[in-house]
């Protein structure tokens, strides 16, 4: 017999026989502070969760359900939910159906039975993901949906908790959490070991250690195993009970009175102290990891049966009988009637339509726009006070890109109080390259914060702040440092709208200093010339300016896209051009620009490109350093070879402004793509494809070699150079001549 059926039969038999003499003693209802009515409601949530688990397996067997990782054994989390407010944002473990159902009981008008079934069957009517995945989640219940990438929701839970304290002072327009909110996140005992969890615990402790408000409860649901690997006995308590700044509590998740009373204590303590806590709930896992998992291949029958004998529903049955005047029949009647309701609803749900077309699936990749207050730009007086006299003078003179970005950030922060900046060294030092200098002085530590050294936590902070109405600008110090944190962007930030059918969003701008060409400095770790990991993420926008003027306009547009259109924008800043002032020769100043004051120029749309020159012999299509070098090459080609070029700066790397690129090359005899990124995975691949599919040109490309960048004099050897571009361009004309001769 299937283990789910064994657990079911055991429940029916043991309740009927009142075979419920567990050794653990419970608190009384009064001691637990739990009204009888709420006890019954918690039990109902547990039962519904259990019956839904059973149904998910039946639906899968019939080809009508697509997910069987259940909550059985973890239903004690219904009592956890009951101890929090329904507005306390919760980032949940995949075994927390009972939590969500219990929370639904705190909010009028909820239909968790239907919602969960719709989700199992991937119905288009699934209210959280629109049929895209079986996820827990609900907008009304402040439960953002989670992927089941282990622990990936913890950094953003930390970020959200951090945002609560800042929001209290700043009051962002789209604030979501009340000022006294507590944030909850839950995970399993094996997940606790994941580097992402450890980063989140550490970041929470790091904040608490400095008395920074962080109202967060980590809930570890300890069933003693992760798929087939046992957690060493006592490990969770040993590793978590003594962390600086993190208060440890434990409860017996089989006993809803103990779980409720302990969680209430935790929630009250965290709400009052604004400090993080760790709640360790012991529980069991019933019928394996997921539907197809055969427990007997790695667990003895004794252990399987011992867990089954401790079914939390049996414990709850005893509590109801002892403390709420229920008879065994009353318990069974709740259990059976809920089972019947689930079965009746499932019959209806499977008839509903599912997603079919790519268009339907993709409809929520890009989040919906949101209404925003009209921006009132800072007055001249305010700007004078903020910038100071010296910087006001500097504003009037041509400047390099680093300075221009600093000016733009200042104006953006002046105009938008919900814009906050965070990253390593961005505050007191003002960034490795001075880009964020004086911003902390200008806007204070609440809005410009030096984070700890952990990129996962930085991106988690941004996601969490965005969950609470901020428009964060997170900085990743060097592109190569993104890679050990990129799941926060790829797996989390970028997927939120998709998995929530556009109901949740995390608008943000991530500034990343990157690309190559730093003269002899840094090697690969500081000169990373590949954006491949960003290019293929559905829905994100990648901006990459080549000069200070464009950087200002693009940054303004990036903030608008985040604020009004809820987009995730990655803003890649080419380090080698930060300080560049000259183009062709020393002191020509051609790469400095006058700061475009706010509203003085039209927005730089992400569907537009920059075009320099109107030659028709050759169009060079490039961006960032490649655009700079191509602009140098253009002069050589014009003056020494009589070739008239136009140089096109694509600026926005994803989505590519395809029409604008094709239009800008119209009428040109040749197209040369110059890409400073590695051949494999570089934008040149997308551009070659674009020209092959959507234009009459057969383009050629000059891209970097598939190599890492060395430090020292050979720093530029693997990437396009001015002379290399000239040669590649001439080769196009030579090959044409050769072809004409034939």
| Contact residues: Mg ion, CB under 5 A | 188-190, 223, 225-226
Long-range CB contacts for residues 228-237, cutoff 8 Å, separation at least 24: 228/289, 228/297, 228/298, 228/299, 229/190, 231/189, 231/190, 235/189, 236/189, 236/192, 236/280, 237/280
| DSSP one-letter string for 615-679 | -SSEEEEE-HHHHHHHHHHHHHHHHHH---EEEEE--EEES--HHHHHHHTTT-SEEEEEEEEET
Q: Pick what 95 binds: Mg ion, ligand TPP, none; C-beta below 5 to 8 Å, kind-dependent.
A: ligand TPP
Assign 234 to helix, strand or coil: coil
Of the candidates 106, 148, 695, 721, which one interacts with ligand TPP according to CB under 6 A?
148
Of the candidates 15, 52, 116, 225, which one interacts with ligand TPP according to CB under 6 A?
225
Q: Pick what 714 binds: Mg ion, ligand TPP, none; C-beta below 5 to 8 Å, kind-dependent.
A: none
Whole-number Å distance between alpha carbons of 678 and 702? 10
CA neighbours closer than 13 Å in the CB half-sphere of residue 32: 25
Task: Name the residue with the smallest CB distance to ligand TPP.
Answer: 188
- The footprint of ligand TPP on this chain (CB under 6 A) covers a number of residues equal to 16
Residues with Cβ within 8 Å of residue 198, at least 6 apart in sequence: none
φ, ψ for residue 104, nearest 5 deg:
-60, -30
Asked if residue 10 lies in contact with residue 2, where contact means CB atoms within 8 angstroms, the answer is no
Q: By CB under 6 A, which span of 22-30, 220-228, 363-371, 589-597 interacts with ligand TPP?
A: 220-228
| DSSP one-letter string for 322-362 | HHS---HHHHHHHHHHHHHHHHHHHHHHTTS-B--SHHHHH
Candidates 81, 312, 106, 97; CA nearest to 217 is: 81
Of the candidates 119, 223, 410, 622, which one interacts with ligand TPP according to CB under 6 A?
223
Q: Smallest gap, in angstroms, from Cβ of residue 285 to ligand TPP?
A: 6
Q: Smallest gap, in angstroms, from Cβ of residue 567 to ligand TPP?
A: 26
Query: Tokens standing for 429?
Result: 């030092």
684 binds ligand TPP (CB under 6 A): no
Strand pairing class (229-230; 225-226): antiparallel
Rounded to whole angstroms, what are the CA distances from 400 to 434, 490, 592, 655?
12, 32, 5, 27
Q: By CB under 6 A, which span of 225-233, 263-271, 372-380, 678-686 interacts with ligand TPP?
A: 225-233
Q: Smallest gap, in angstroms, from Cβ of residue 625 to ligand TPP?
A: 35
Residues with Cβ within 8 Å of residue 434, at least 6 apart in sequence: 402, 406
Q: By CB under 6 A, which span of 17-25, 224-232, 306-314, 398-406 interacts with ligand TPP?
A: 224-232
C-beta of 285 vs 318, nearer to ligand TPP: 285
Assign 434 to helix, strand or coil: coil
Q: Pick what 150 binds: Mg ion, ligand TPP, none; C-beta below 5 to 8 Å, kind-dependent.
A: ligand TPP
Assign 671 to helix, strand or coil: strand
Q: Smallest gap, in angstroms, from Cβ of residue 225 to Mg ion?
A: 5
C-beta of 141 vs 190, nearer to Mg ion: 190
Whole-number Å distance between alpha carbons of 261 and 116? 28
Q: Smallest gap, in angstroms, from Cβ of residue 280 to Mg ion?
A: 12
95 binds ligand TPP (CB under 6 A): yes
Longest CA span, the chain = 101
C-beta of 283 vs 338, nearer to ligand TPP: 283
Q: Pick what 148 binds: Mg ion, ligand TPP, none; C-beta below 5 to 8 Å, kind-dependent.
A: ligand TPP
Asked if residue 186 lies in contact with residue 77, where contact means CB atoms within 8 angstroms, the answer is yes
| DSSP one-letter string for 283-301 | ----S-SSTT--GGGTS-H
Q: Pick what 245 binds: ligand TPP, Mg ion, none; C-beta below 5 to 8 Å, kind-dependent.
A: none
C-beta of 75 vs 573, nearer to ligand TPP: 75
User: Cα–chain-centroid distance for residue 553?
Assistant: 25
49 binds ligand TPP (CB under 6 A): no
C-beta of 286 vs 419, nearer to ligand TPP: 286
Return left, alpha or beta for 556; rule: phi > 0 is left, psi -120 to 50 is alpha, else beta: alpha
Exposed (0-12), middle (13-18) or buried (19+): which is 637, by Cβ within 10 Å? buried
C-beta of 28 vs 228, nearer to ligand TPP: 228
Other Cβ atoms within 10 Å of 659 Cβ, number: 13
Q: Smallest gap, in angstroms, from Cβ of residue 144 to Mg ion?
A: 22
C-beta of 87 vs 149, nearer to ligand TPP: 149
Strand pairing class (568-574; 541-543): parallel
Q: Smallest gap, in angstroms, from Cβ of residue 289 to ligand TPP?
A: 6
Q: Pick what 716 binds: ligand TPP, Mg ion, none; C-beta below 5 to 8 Å, kind-dependent.
A: none
245 binds ligand TPP (CB under 6 A): no
C-beta of 66 vs 235, nearer to Mg ion: 235
Q: Smallest gap, in angstroms, from Cβ of residue 133 to ligand TPP?
A: 13
C-beta of 93 vs 678, nearer to Mg ion: 93
Q: Smallest gap, in angstroms, from Cβ of residue 14 to ligand TPP?
A: 24
C-beta of 225 vs 677, nearer to ligand TPP: 225
C-beta of 147 vs 605, nearer to ligand TPP: 147
Contacts of ligand TPP in 271-300 (CB under 6 A): 285, 289
C-beta of 281 vs 496, nearer to ligand TPP: 281
Question: Sign of dihedral through CA atoms 219, 221, 226, 231?
Answer: positive
Q: Pick what 149 binds: ligand TPP, Mg ion, none; C-beta below 5 to 8 Å, kind-dependent.
A: ligand TPP
Q: Pick what 447 binds: Mg ion, ligand TPP, none; C-beta below 5 to 8 Å, kind-dependent.
A: none
135 binds ligand TPP (CB under 6 A): no
Q: Smallest gap, in angstroms, from Cβ of residue 191 to ligand TPP?
A: 3
Q: Smallest gap, in angstroms, from Cβ of residue 322 to Mg ion?
A: 29
C-beta of 286 vs 569, nearer to ligand TPP: 286
96 binds ligand TPP (CB under 6 A): no
220 binds ligand TPP (CB under 6 A): no
Q: Smallest gap, in angstroms, from Cβ of residue 186 to Mg ion?
A: 11
Binding string, residues 180-199; x marks residues near ligand TPP by CB under 6 A: -------xxxxx--------
φ, ψ for residue 574, nearest 5 deg:
-70, 110
C-beta of 153 vs 511, nearer to ligand TPP: 153
657 binds ligand TPP (CB under 6 A): no
Residue environment code for 97-118, b if the CB has 16+ CB neighbours within 10 A, otherwise e:
bbbbbbbbbbeeebebbbbbbb
Strand pairing class (471-476; 419-423): parallel
C-beta of 114 vs 278, nearer to ligand TPP: 278
Q: Smallest gap, in angstroms, from Cβ of residue 93 to ligand TPP?
A: 6
Instruction: Provide the residue count of the chain.
Output: 742
Candidates 4, 144, 154, 135; CA nearest to 73 is: 4
Asked if residue 74 lies in contact with residue 285, where contact means CB atoms within 8 angstroms, the answer is yes
149 binds ligand TPP (CB under 6 A): yes
The DSSP output letter for 575 is G
C-beta of 185 vs 648, nearer to ligand TPP: 185
C-beta of 285 vs 447, nearer to ligand TPP: 285
Asked if residue 271 lies in contact with residue 180, where contact means CB atoms within 8 angstroms, the answer is yes
Residues with Cβ within 8 Å of residue 737, at least 6 apart in sequence: none
Please report how the helices 256-273 and 312-323 are oriented relative to each other, as an axis angle in degrees rounded to 10: 90
Give the Cα-Cα-Cα angle 399, 404, 409 (nearest 5 degrees).
160
Q: By CB under 6 A, which span of 102-110, 144-152, 430-438, 733-741 interacts with ligand TPP?
A: 144-152
Q: Pick what 675 binds: Mg ion, ligand TPP, none; C-beta below 5 to 8 Å, kind-dependent.
A: none
**Which residues bind to ligand TPP, rule: CB under 6 A?**
95, 148-150, 187-191, 221, 223, 225-227, 285, 289
């Amino acid at each position: 017999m299937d283990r789910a059926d064994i657990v079911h039969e055991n429940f029916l038999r043991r309740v009927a026989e009142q075979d419920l003499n567990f050794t653990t003693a419970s608190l009384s209802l009064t001691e637990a502070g739990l009204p009888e009515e709420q006890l019954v409601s918690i039990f109902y949530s547990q039962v519904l969760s259990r019956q839904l688990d059973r149904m998910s397996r039946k639906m899968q067997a019939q080809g009508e359900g697509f997910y069987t990782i259940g909550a059985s054994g973890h239903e004690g989390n219904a009592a956890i939910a009951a101890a929090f407010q329904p507005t306390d944002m919760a980032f949940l473990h995949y075994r927390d159906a009972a939590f969500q159902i219990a929370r639904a009981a705190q909010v009028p008008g909820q239909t968790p039975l239907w919602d969960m079934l719709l989700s199992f069957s991937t119905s288009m009517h699934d209210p959280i993901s629109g049929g895209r995945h079986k996820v827990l989640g609900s907008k009304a219940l402040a439960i953002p949906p989670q992927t089941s990438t282990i622990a990936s929701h913890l950094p953003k839970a930390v970020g959200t908790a951090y945002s609560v304290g800042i929001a209290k002072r700043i009051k962002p327009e789209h604030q979501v959490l009340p000022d006294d909110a507590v944030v909850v996140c839950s995970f399993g005992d094996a997940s606790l070991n994941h580097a992402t969890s450890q980063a989140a615990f550490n970041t929470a402790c790091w904040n608490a250690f400095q008395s920074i408000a962080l109202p967060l409860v980590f809930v570890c649901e300890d069933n003693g195993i992760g798929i087939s690997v046992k957690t060493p006995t006592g490990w969770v308590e040993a590793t978590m009970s003594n962390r600086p700044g993190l208060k440890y509590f434990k409860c017996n998740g089989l006993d809803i009175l103990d779980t409720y009373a302990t969680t209430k204590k935790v929630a009250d303590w965290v709400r009052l102290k604004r400090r993080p806590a760790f709640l360790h709930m012991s529980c069991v896992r019933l019928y394996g990891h997921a539907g197809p998992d055969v427990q007997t291949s790695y667990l003895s029958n004794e252990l399987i049966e011992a867990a089954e004998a401790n079914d939390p529903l049996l414990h709850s049955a005893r509590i109801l009988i002892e403390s709420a005047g229920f008879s065994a029949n009353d318990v069974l009647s709740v259990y059976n009637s809920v089972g019947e309701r689930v079965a009746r609803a499932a019959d209806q749900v499977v008839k509903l339509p599912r997603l079919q077309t790519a268009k339907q699936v993709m409809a929520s990749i890009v989040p919906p726009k949101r209404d925003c207050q009209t921006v009132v730009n800072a007055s001249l007086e305010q700007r004078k006070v903020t910038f100071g006299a010296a910087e006001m003078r500097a504003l009037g003179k041509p400047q390099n890109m680093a300075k221009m970005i600093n000016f733009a950030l200042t104006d953006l922060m002046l105009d938008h109080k919900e814009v906050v900046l965070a990253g390593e060294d961005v505050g007191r030092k003002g960034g490795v390259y001075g880009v964020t200098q004086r911003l902390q002085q200008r806007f204070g530590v609440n809005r410009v914060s030096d984070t700890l050294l952990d990129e996962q936590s930085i991106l988690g902070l941004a996601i969490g702040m965005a969950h609470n109405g901020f428009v964060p600008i997170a900085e990743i110090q060097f592109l190569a440092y993104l890679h050990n944190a990129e799941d926060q962007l790829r797996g989390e930030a970028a997927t939120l709208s998709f998995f929530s059918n556009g109901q949740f969003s995390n608008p943000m701008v991530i500034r990343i200093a990157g690309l190559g060409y730093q003269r002899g400095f840094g090697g690969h770790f500081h000169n990373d010339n590949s954006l491949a990991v960003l290019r293929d993420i559905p829905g994100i926008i990648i901006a990459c300016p080549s000069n200070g003027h464009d950087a200002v306009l693009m940054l303004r547009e990036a903030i608008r896209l985040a604020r009004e259109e809820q987009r995730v924008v990655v803003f890649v800043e080419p380090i080698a051009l930060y300080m560049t002032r000259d183009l062709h020769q020393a002191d020509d100043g051609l790469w400095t620009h006058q700061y475009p004051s706010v509203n003085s120029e039209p927005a730089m749309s992400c569907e537009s490109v920059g075009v320099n020159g109107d030659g028709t012999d050759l169009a060079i299509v490039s961006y960032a350093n490649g655009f700079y070098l191509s602009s140098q090459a253009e002069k050589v080609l014009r003056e020494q070879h009589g070739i008239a070029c136009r140089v096109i700066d694509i600026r926005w790397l994803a989505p590519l402004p395809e029409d604008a690129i094709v239009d800008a090359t119209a009428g040109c005899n040749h197209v040369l793509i110059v890409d400073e990124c590695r051949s494999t995975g570089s934008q040149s691949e997308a551009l070659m494809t674009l020209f092959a599919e959507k234009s009459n040109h057969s383009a050629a490309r000059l891209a970097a070699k598939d190599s890492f960048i060395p430090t020292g004099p050979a720093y530029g050897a693997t990437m396009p150079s001015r002379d290399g571009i000239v040669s590649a361009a001439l080769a196009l004309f030579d090959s044409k001549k050769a072809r004409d001769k034939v």
